[in-house]
Amino acid sequence: MKKDNYIALIYKKLKGDISLEEQSQLDVWEGNTPENAQLSRQLEKDWALTEDYTPSVDFDLDVDADFKLLQQRIDKDATLIKSPADNMRIANQPIGKVVAMSSKKSSSRWIGWASAAVIALALGFWFMTNQNDVLSAPMIAETNFQEKKSVTLNDGTVVWLNGSSKLTYFTDFSGNERVVQLTGEAFFDVTKFPDKPFIIEANNSKITVLGTSFNVRSRIAEGMTEVVVKTGKVRLENGVGDKKVELTPNQKGVHDVSNNTVIEMEEIDMNELAWHSDKLIFMHTPLNEVLDDLERQFEVKITLADKTLNDCEYGATHKVEDGIATILNAIADTYKMTLKPIGNTSFELVNGSCQ
């Protein structure tokens, strides 16, 4: 994401209409460098100062429209950039239409204008000093519910997106790092470039690799980021980097955003990769764990009526493409259960025995 977009997120935060996902992206960016955090704090101070000023004449200004107008002008003029002077010319163009109003009206509109001007000036500054960022627009790959999609990045890295996920990346990795942003779940097969680490920003978490294959699950609603490594070595850390774990093949790391802990799990379930491998493998697996895997994989609810069957051991290999109904029918046949669908996304297993 471009720096001016992060400034726009700061603007939305100060207005009080930033989403949870946008706040997470902003938190990660602010924690990346001291300069980012300093800029955010300065903008907040400037915004607060405008509340202490009351002009003699009120103004009526559509702040949101003017801010969008400035961004559109930047996009339109990006092809005309030849020098820093061109950047300054574009940033200094008028961005709003001011209309005089009755002095009886509240000065809150002036506060909105002044605050927007603060953000616009910051945006102009970043636009002037970060020409390459403006010229390199981010790409976004998204999937719908239960949709899967693969994306090949310009360095040869292949990313498989699970359903309801979004990957933000640049077509050209400039600088010393390859940085992408993820919301949702994805499997990464990263091309090895030891001098240019591959970094994933996800829900205030940071994953750094040199070349490996691994799975990342970072759904904001779950409040945590999970990394399961298939090959190579991965570092998982929180946004500010003061808590981290190093992961190798068949290891799992979890960053719990709510309590800011980063831990390595001693026991992992490789069926967490089933959405990518298209195989669910169970070997003497307790039935309650089998049903947990199926719920996670197919995003459904499964109820076992007789809880005494939780520890029944189940062994089988299923293809994900067979579907949840086929797999549950196989389990029901094994334990002489009855499968009862409840709507489109819920099932109940009743009766049966382990033998």
The structure's pTM equals 0.55
Q: Which CATH number, 2.40.30.40, 2.50.20.10, 2.60.120.1440, 1.10.10.410, labels domain 138-268?
A: 2.60.120.1440
Is residue 154 within 8 Å of 119, Cβ to Cβ?
no
110-169 pLDDT tens trace: 455 455 555 555 555 544 444 444 445 689 999 998 899 999 998 999 999 999 999 999
282: pLDDT strictly greater than 50: yes
Look-up: residue for tokens 């955003």? 257
User: Whole-number mean pLDDT of the chain?
Assistant: 78
| CA 201 – CA 180 distance, rounded (Å) | 6
Which pLDDT score, from 0 to 100, does residue 95 have? 41
Domain 271-350 annotated CATH 3.40.50.2300: no
Task: Delimit the domains of the chain by residue range.
Answer: 3-135, 138-268, 271-350
In the predicted structure, residue 87 carries a pLDDT above the cut 70: no
CB-CB neighbours of 193 under 10 Å = 15
pLDDT of 90 reads 43
Query: What length is written for the chain?
Result: 355
Using 50, 70 and 90 to split pLDDT, how confident is the model at 6? confident
Q: Of the given ranges (45-59, 109-123, 284-298, 335-349), which has the lowest mean pLDDT?
A: 109-123
**H helix or E strand, kind and range, residue 245:** strand 244-247
